[in-house]
């Protein structure tokens, strides 16, 4: 079985469409489609159901995907290690974390890294959905919880603190609450449907249920919450790192225990000897020591 066709098969299966796969590997849709057709001809059976909205694996396609997943990962690891065998760290390195942390804290600090290691092709994959580093969806992850998988190496970085914030204009109009029950008289903006690993930050969602408060707005994105508060829509729970020195938002002090979340850097055990991962790990640990939020 042709390795390149099998590699393309896995990329298409993960992407769910030729167009998304094309964006993933910067190859034309026609070339990808041709590779899949050639693989289907080689094995003698269709591997995908074609639908207007995308592609779904056939039963035989599912079987091929499961049976060859480990092979694909082993070859990817071999390619990764061959590139790492060079004296200077070089090659592709993908890092995933949440949109908020990646945009506001990580990205502004990457100039030093890209200057020190110009041969590394760094890609940030910012999403509040968790990419699986064990399945090579990214090389390194910065998580808001301690990973449970035994095959992942982990390093605690820092603790993220959360507080209630509001704009000066909002507080001038509605006053400043001093305890949780005061929130009954305020406009509340909550995170809404938070992923399981972010449940702790939805303290306000619990409060609204306890005091039967109807949130004026729910936003499933931390940057959206920040914008809502900045525009005086209401009070929201925000991570302190999101509040810049030039930010006019006011922290509301409560005698309540508010969320704190430990942050971890994680990567696959098989990548423990990677030079690329090692230099990025040390860089993030160095920057993490400056954490003051």
pTM score, two decimals? Answer: 0.72
Query: In this predicted model, which residue has the larger pLDDT, 130 or 80?
Result: 130
Which of the residue ranges 19-33, 153-167, 229-243 would you say has the lowest mean pLDDT? 19-33
Residue 255 is predicted with a pLDDT of 81
Percent of the chain as helix, strand, coil, to the nearest 5:
45, 20, 30
- Residues 2-22 have pLDDT tens digits of 888 998 999 999 888 898 888
228, 234 in Cβ contact below 8 A? yes
10-53 per-position pLDDT tens digit: 999 988 889 888 888 888 889 999 999 999 999 999 999 988 77
Residue-level pLDDT at 246: 61
Per the model's pLDDT, the better-predicted residue between 253 and 77 turns out to be 253
pLDDT tens-digit series, residues 82-96: 776 667 888 899 999
Q: Does residue 76 surpass a pLDDT of 80? A: no
Confidence of residue 73 (pLDDT cuts 50, 70, 90): confident
All domains of the chain, ordered by start, with CATH? 3-84 (1.10.10.10), 88-293 (3.40.190.290)
């Amino acid at each position: 079985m042709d390795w390149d066709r099998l590699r393309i098969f896995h990329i298409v299966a993960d992407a769910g469409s030729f167009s998304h796969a094309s964006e993933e590997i910067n190859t034309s849709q026609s070339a990808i489609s041709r590779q899949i057709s050639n693989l289907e001809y080689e094995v003698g059976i269709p591997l995908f159901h074609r639908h207007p909205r995308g592609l779904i694996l056939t039963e035989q396609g599912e079987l091929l995907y499961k049976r060859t997943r480990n092979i694909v990962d082993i070859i990817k690891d071999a390619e990764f290690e061959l590139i790492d065998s060079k004296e200077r760290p070089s090659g592709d390195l993908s890092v995933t974390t949440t949109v908020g942390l990646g945009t506001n804290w990580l990205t502004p600090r990457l100039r030093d890294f890209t200057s020190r290691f110009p041969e590394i092709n760094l890609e940030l994959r910012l999403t509040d959905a968790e990419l699986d580093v064990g399945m090579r969806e990214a090389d390194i992850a910065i998580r808001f919880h301690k990973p449970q998988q035994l095959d992942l190496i982990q390093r605690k970085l820092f603790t993220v603190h959360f507080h209630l914030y509001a704009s000066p204009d909002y507080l001038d109009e509605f006053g400043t609450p001093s305890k949780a029950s005061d929130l009954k008289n305020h406009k509340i903006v909550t995170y809404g449907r938070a992923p399981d690993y972010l449940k702790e930050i939805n303290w306000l969602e619990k409060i609204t249920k306890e005091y039967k408060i109807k949130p004026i707005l729910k936003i499933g994105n931390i940057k959206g919450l920040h914008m809502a508060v900045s525009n005086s829509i209401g009070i929201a729970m925000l991570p302190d790192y999101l509040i810049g020195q030039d930010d006019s938002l006011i922290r509301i002090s409560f005698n309540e225990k508010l969320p704190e979340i430990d942050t971890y850097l994680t990567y696959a055990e098989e990548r423990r000897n990677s030079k690329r991962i090692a230099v990025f790990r040390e860089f993030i640990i160095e920057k993490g020591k400056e954490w003051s939020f």
